[in-house]
Structure 1
C-alpha cells in the first residue's frame, strides 16, 4: 500500500476490494477444495469442530489442515498489504469461513477488539501501552458477494471508537437464528444478539452511512476488526451460497489466547492442543505465542 492508500485506509478503516485470484481461477479452486474440506480427519479441532455442527466455531482454522488455505493466508497480495499496516512481524492467528445460504439472515452490526464478545475471555491482547488494537482482517470472496447474496457492509471511520463492551456476556440462543428483524433488515449474530454488548443501550449505528462491499470471486477486502461491520441477508434470488474466508492478522507482540487452552463460544467448545499461530512475515520474538510451522499433514507454512 502506498502513502495515499495507507492514509485512506487509516481514515476509513478498510482498503479494497483488491484482486487475489482471477475469477475463473477462484471458481475452479473452490470446486476442488470444497470437497477436500469435507474431510475433517486432520483438522486441528477434528471431531470437536464437527460436533459444533452449524455453529460458527465449526468453521475455524481450516488453514491448519488445508494446503490451499495454508498457502492462501501467506499470499503476497495479502501479506504485503497487511505488513504495510501492522509492520514487518505478523502472525495469522485465526481463519474462519463465513457461509451464507439462500434465506439466511444478515449479520448484526458489530466490532471486535479482543474477541471476547462471545466467550467473555480475551482471545487477543495487545501490549498495555496500546489502548486497543483488534486485528486486521482480510475477507476473501470465494463466491459472488453482492447485495442479493449478503455482502459485507461497513460504516467508514468507526474503527477508532468502540461502541461495545466486550467484557459483557452475550447469551447464546440458537432459536434466534433467522428469527429477528432489526430496523427492517433480518440480522443476527450466529445465535447471539450483539446489541447486548452496547455501551449505550439506546445507541444505534448510523446505517445511512453504510457502504456495501460488492466483490467478485477472488477479490478481497482488508479492514480493522474494530470497524463497524455487518452483512446483508441472502435474499434467495439466486441459489448460490455466498462464501467468504476471513484470515485475521496481528503483530507478533500481541498475545494470542492468553490464559486459556480452549475456545468456548457459539454453543461449542474446542481444545487448542493442536493450535498454533502462523508466522506469515518477519520474525517472532514473543515467547507467549505457540507457532505452527506446518499443517497437521506436514505442509510447510510460508513466512515472507
Structure 2
C-alpha cells in the first residue's frame, strides 16, 4: 500500500507549512509503545552519545538504539507522506524526544534552517546555490496532547522567510531556562533566548495567527522546520506530555559537514557512532555515513 499525500494535502503543505494530524497507531498500541520506549530511554549502553540521561540532548537520535523508534522512523505511512514533499531519496538525519513535565515552561517561537542556532555551525547543507533549506519534521504524540499539557503551536505560512539569523551567537545560560516570561506566557528555549537571533530586534511574531495543534496519542503532524513554531507550558499537576520528532531531508543533503562533533546545550556530542538512515529510494554514501543497522542491531536495510 502507498500512503502518499493527496494533491490537496500537498497544496495545504505548500501554503501553510504543515499538514496533519494523521493517525498512525491505535491508542492501545501507542500506550504500550510509550511504556516500552520510556523505560529504554534510561538505558544508554548502546546510545550514540555518551551522556547522562538528564542532559538536554540525551533524547537525541534514540532511533539509533531503541528498536521501537528505529522501526518508527521507517514507517511507510510516515515515509510516503514525506516522499510527497521531498521526493523519493530520503534520509532520517536526526530524532529528538520532547518530554514536557507538569509545570514545565513552553518553548519560545523559533525556526530552524541550517540548525546552527545552538552549535554555531551548519548541521545540514543543501546542495547547489540555495541558502534556504530546512528539514521536514514529523512530530508524533506518544501521549494525548492538549493545550493544557503544552501542545505545539504554528503560525501558518511563515515557512518561506527566515526571521532569525542562525549565524548570530546565543549564550547558553541554563540557570535562565525557566526565567523567561513573554507576554504573560512562561517560555524559554532550553537555556537560550531565541530573541537574540532576530534579524529585526523590534519584530514580534504575530501570535494572533497562531494555531494550537491538539493531538491524540498515536497521531503525527508534519511541518517544515522553517515554520514558526513553539509550544505552550504544561499547566497540569500530574500529566506528562511526550512527543517524538523525526527529521528528514533528501539524501543529497550533507549532514554535519566538515565536523566530527557537535556542541549543543552545554554538551559536546562525538559523531563517532552517528550515521543517517536511508528510509526510501537511493542511498548516497558519498558525503554521509549511512547505517545498515542500528547500534542495537536493528536492520535498516529495505
Partner of 2:214: 214
Partner of 2:293: 294
| TM-score when normalising by structure 2 | 0.96
Partner of 1:260: 259
- The answer as to whether partners of 2:20 and 2:221 remain within 8 angstroms in 1 is yes
The alignment status of 1:26 with 2:30, answered yes or no, reads yes
Query: 2-side partners of 1:172 and 1:55: how far apart?
Result: 14
Question: Which aligned segments of 4 or more residues in structure 1 are displaced greater than 3 angstroms?
Answer: none
Deviations 1:48-81 (A, max 9, x none): 222xx53421110011111110000010110010
Alignment counterpart, residue 6 of structure 2, candidates 2, 8, 11: 2
- The answer as to whether partners of 1:74 and 1:302 remain within 8 angstroms in 2 is no
Indicate the larger mover: 222-231 or 284-293: 284-293
- The answer as to whether partners of 2:284 and 2:290 remain within 8 angstroms in 1 is no
Q: Secondary structure at the match of 1:49?
A: coil
- The answer as to whether partners of 1:44 and 1:296 remain within 8 angstroms in 2 is yes
Partner of 2:276: 277
Please show how residues 156-171 of structure 1 align to structure 2 within 5 Å: 156-171=156-171
User: Structure 1 residues 81, 92: CA separation in 2 closer, same or farther (over 3 Å shift)?
Assistant: same
Partner of 2:178: 178
Query: 2-side partners of 1:36 and 1:155: how far apart?
Result: 34
Partner of 2:39: 35
Partner of 1:49: 51
- The answer as to whether partners of 1:119 and 1:169 remain within 8 angstroms in 2 is no
Partner of 1:226: 226
- The answer as to whether partners of 1:55 and 1:190 remain within 8 angstroms in 2 is no
Indicate the larger mover: 102-111 or 128-137: 128-137
The CA deviation at 1:250 is 0.2
The CA deviation at 1:37 is 2.5
Deviations 1:89-141 (A, max 9, x none): 00000000011000000001000000000111100011133231100000000
Deviations 1:136-193 (A, max 9, x none): 0000000111100000000000000000000011110011112210111100000000
Partner of 2:89: 89
Q: Secondary structure at the match of 2:51?
A: helix
The alignment status of 1:137 with 2:141, answered yes or no, reads no
| TM-score when normalising by structure 1 | 0.96
Unpaired runs of at least 5, structure 2: none
Q: Secondary structure at the match of 1:96?
A: strand
Query: 2-side partners of 1:44 and 1:131: how far apart?
Result: 29
Indicate the larger mover: 182-191 or 25-34: 25-34
The CA deviation at 1:286 is 5.0
Q: Paired residues, what number?
A: 298
The CA deviation at 1:295 is 0.8
Unpaired runs of at least 5, structure 1: none
Q: Secondary structure at the match of 2:21?
A: strand
- The answer as to whether partners of 1:71 and 1:302 remain within 8 angstroms in 2 is no
Partner of 2:198: 198
Partner of 1:242: 241
